[in-house]
Structure formats: structure tokens, C-alpha cells
């Protein structure tokens, strides 16, 4: 049984003409997206996620000397990860003598968490 298919040549659209209408537009402004991207990038490493987890679950400040034994990496690597988290504005520290005490910045993840939790996706009823 043969099926006859009618094939038509592919049509090239004029230059600059979009192929279709966008399904959705971003609700996030560029500046906000850039801030959240810094946070997402900082959280994009397993050790940094674990550091945030330890710090947010702790009632106060945690000495860096207490953080180092928790990970199978050297002190300099833990310090690097803490620096990345500080630059992203997620944690801060206070120096006391030779030691630095780290803590999660209150509400540092609020904007990012609110965006991630955002409204549920709407299904097109086309």
C-alpha cells in the first residue's frame, strides 16, 4: 500500500522576520536577573551548597576552623568557596584574632527563593 505525500519546497522567510511569536516573555528585569545569576552561580558547587547549609542551620557565627574538617578539601579550598559566597552576598564574616567567623546574611536568598518558587507555569489553552 503506497501513500502519496505531497511535498512542498521549504520557504525561506524574509530577513529579520521572526519564525514564530514568543510563547512567553521574561518577568525578570535584566539587573535582577544578573543579581540572581551571581547567586545561582555561587550555589552551583556542591561544597558551597553544603557550606550554606551548615551556616544557615547554625544558630550564630561559625569559625572557619570548624568548617574545614567537614570537607575533604584543604583549608585554602574552603576559604576560596567562602570567598565566592561572600562576593555573591550570601555569607559574611567577622574577624576575631586569627580566625574568621562566618554566617549567612539574613534574607540573602529571599529574592532568589521567591523567584524559584514563583507562580506556577500556565498551560496554553490553544
Per-residue pLDDT tens over the stretch 3-31: 777 777 777 777 877 777 777 778 888 99
Would the pTM count as exceeding 0.85? no
pLDDT for residue 74: 94
Q: What average pLDDT score do residues 53-73 get?
A: 92
Torsion angle of C-alpha atoms 84, 34, 58, 53, degrees rounded to 10: -80
Higher-confidence residue of 2 and 76: namely 76
CA dist 64 and 80 (Å) reads 12
| CA distances, 116 to each of 13, 34, 43 (Å) | 37, 15, 13
Residue 120 above 70 pLDDT?
no
Complete domains list, the chain, with CATH: 30-113 (1.10.10.10)
Amino acid at each position: 500500500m503506497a501513500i502519496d505525500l505531497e511535498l512542498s519546497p521549504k520557504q525561506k522567510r524574509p530577513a529579520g522576520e521572526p519564525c514564530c511569536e514568543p510563547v512567553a516573555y521574561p518577568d525578570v528585569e535584566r539587573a535582577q536577573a544578573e543579581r540572581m545569576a551571581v547567586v545561582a552561580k555561587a550555589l552551583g558547587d556542591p561544597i558551597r551548597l553544603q557550606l550554606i547549609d551548615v551556616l544557615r542551620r547554625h544558630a550564630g557565627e561559625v569559625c572557619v576552623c570548624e568548617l574545614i574538617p567537614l570537607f575533604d578539601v584543604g583549608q585554602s579550598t574552603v576559604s576560596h568557596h567562602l570567598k565566592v559566597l561572600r562576593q555573591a552576598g550570601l555569607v559574611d564574616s567577622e574577624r576575631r584574632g586569627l580566625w574568621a567567623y562566618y554566617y549567612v546574611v539574613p534574607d540573602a536568598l529571599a529574592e532568589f527563593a521567591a523567584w524559584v518558587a514563583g507562580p506556577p507555569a500556565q498551560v496554553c489553552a490553544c
